[in-house]
Amino acid sequence: MKKLLFISKNLEIGGMEKALVILLNTLVKDYDITLILEEKKGILLEDLDSKINMEIYELANSKNIFIRKFKNLVHKTFWKLKNKNKYDFSCNYATYSLIGAYLAKVASPNNSLYVHSNYYEAYKHDVEKFCAFFNQLKIEGFRHIIFVSNEAKDSFNNIYPNLKSKTWVINNLVDYKNIKRLSTQEIEVKFNKNKTNFLFVGRLDNDSKNFVRMLRSFYLAISKNKNLCLYIIGEGKDNKLIKDLIKKYHLEKHVFLLGAINNPYQYFKRCDAFLLTSNYEGFPVVLIEALVLNVPMISTIDVSDEEINLKDYIIKLPFLEKNIADVLINFKKEKVDYKLDFKKINEKRIEELIKLIESN
């Protein structure tokens, strides 16, 4: 049985982390899998198949930079001696992880980097910063560079044309059966059926998700239509910022922070629409989940992969808050049926990834 290695940061709730768990739980049926985490924490740890080997690679955290660098160098050296070319395939799944990039390249010549975001958009089209990010990962040393959207791959290829032959688009697997099953459970927080209920699920990170835009837009919408509510599920570094914005715009009766919920699908199923006002994304896992459950989607993001073009399914939002507010005010409740065959979509995605795993 071939040995595979995946490296990530942790398994806290988030689109990338959920996608990783689904992928590993699928692959472990046919492969011997080891997952290395920098931190053993996260609500998704309990969802990981028990047959997956888990290791923790802790980085030194000494305040003394010389001690910290020395400890990390010793750790890297011993890890390399023990694991050099030990695996048939390796993957740095957390794109931004420098130690993950190093370990993946040491562990196997058949190594890969998974890119979950469009970094050209993240760096606001600043090519110098874009290149600095990928160069620090020593991007040319990867055999495969996997993107979750055509847009992210195309942006990369425009700047690194010499690496075009290494790039692929393989989006995340969709745990559609489990999503549908979990969506039937009862929700703890009841929606008011007399109001239009919007939902956001994801990491509370303003840099990418732009909660300032979301809540200012909602404030403008509420000033004209009081029958709107927004429920926010997730945790992250900008939890306090969101609470402060809710208070600033007097949205306490209209916007509700629910925290991290391991089963958000029960809320997907019962909301009137999913709302996403991000600056950029790779391919939002939450929108795929909304597709599974036939939830109307209102989004600033309309990326595509080899199987799904979000332009065909979403209500596209402008970036201006006043215009977003107009869309929210005029939104009409309706049932949708996207008629996507997620079984076939998953089969094609896993087939493409296995081609890379099995490549010599």
pLDDT of residue 12: 87
Mean pLDDT of 94-101: 96
Burial class (CB in 10 A: 0-12, 13-18, 19+), 328: buried
The closest alpha carbon to 179, from 258, 292, 273, belongs to 292
pLDDT digits (tens, 9 = 90+) for 298-328: 999 999 999 999 999 999 999 999 999 999 9
pLDDT digits (tens, 9 = 90+) for 11-53: 987 789 989 999 999 999 999 999 999 999 988 899 999 999 9
User: pLDDT band for position 228 (50/70/90)?
Assistant: very high
User: pLDDT band for position 272 (50/70/90)?
Assistant: very high
87 φ/ψ angles, rounded to the nearest 5 degrees:
-110, 155
Query: Which tokens in the block code for residue 9?
Result: 């940061």
User: Side chain identity at 319, as an amino acid letter?
Assistant: F
Mean pLDDT of 82-110: 98
Mean pLDDT of 109-128: 96
Query: Which tokens in the block code for residue 45?
Result: 């740890």
Q: Check if 3-174+344-358 and 176-341 are the same fold.
A: yes
253 φ/ψ angles, rounded to the nearest 5 degrees:
-90, 0
Across the strands, what pairs with 256?
231
pLDDT of residue 62: 87
Q: What percent of the chain has pLDDT over 70?
A: 100
pLDDT of residue 30: 96
Q: What is the sign, positive or negative, of the torsion defined by CA atoms of 78, 39, 346, 349?
A: negative
pLDDT digits (tens, 9 = 90+) for 125-152: 999 999 999 999 999 999 999 999 999 9
pLDDT of residue 52: 98
Judged against a pLDDT cut of 80, whether residue 270 lies above it is answered with yes
pLDDT of residue 86: 98
How do the residues of the chain divide into helix, strand and coil, expressed in percent and rounded to 5? 45, 15, 40
Judged against a pLDDT cut of 80, whether residue 360 lies above it is answered with no
User: pLDDT band for position 220 (50/70/90)?
Assistant: very high
Instruction: List the alpha helices (DSSP H) in 35-149.
Output: 65-83, 98-107, 119-122, 127-136
pLDDT of residue 262: 82
Assessment of whether the complete model's pTM goes beyond 0.75: yes
β-pairing, 53-56 vs 32-37, is parallel
Q: 172-192 as b/e, with b when 16 or more CB fall inside 10 Å?
A: bbbbbeebeebbeeebeeebe
User: pLDDT band for position 187 (50/70/90)?
Assistant: confident
The class (CATH top level) of 176-341 is alpha beta
User: Side chain identity at 348, as an amino acid letter?
Assistant: K
Query: Which tokens in the block code for residue 300?
Result: 């600033």
Judged against a pLDDT cut of 80, whether residue 73 lies above it is answered with yes
Within 8 A by CB and 6+ apart from 22, the residues are 172, 173, 174, 175
Query: Which tokens in the block code for residue 116?
Result: 């979950």
Mean pLDDT of 161-172: 97
| Homologous superfamily assigned to 3-174+344-358 | Glycogen Phosphorylase B; (3.40.50.2000)
For the chain, give every domain's residue range. 3-174+344-358, 176-341
Instruction: List the alpha helices (DSSP H) in the chain.
Output: 15-27, 65-83, 98-107, 119-122, 127-136, 150-159, 176-182, 206-209, 211-222, 239-248, 265-270, 285-292, 321-330, 342-358
Q: Residue 123 in 3-state DSSP? A: coil
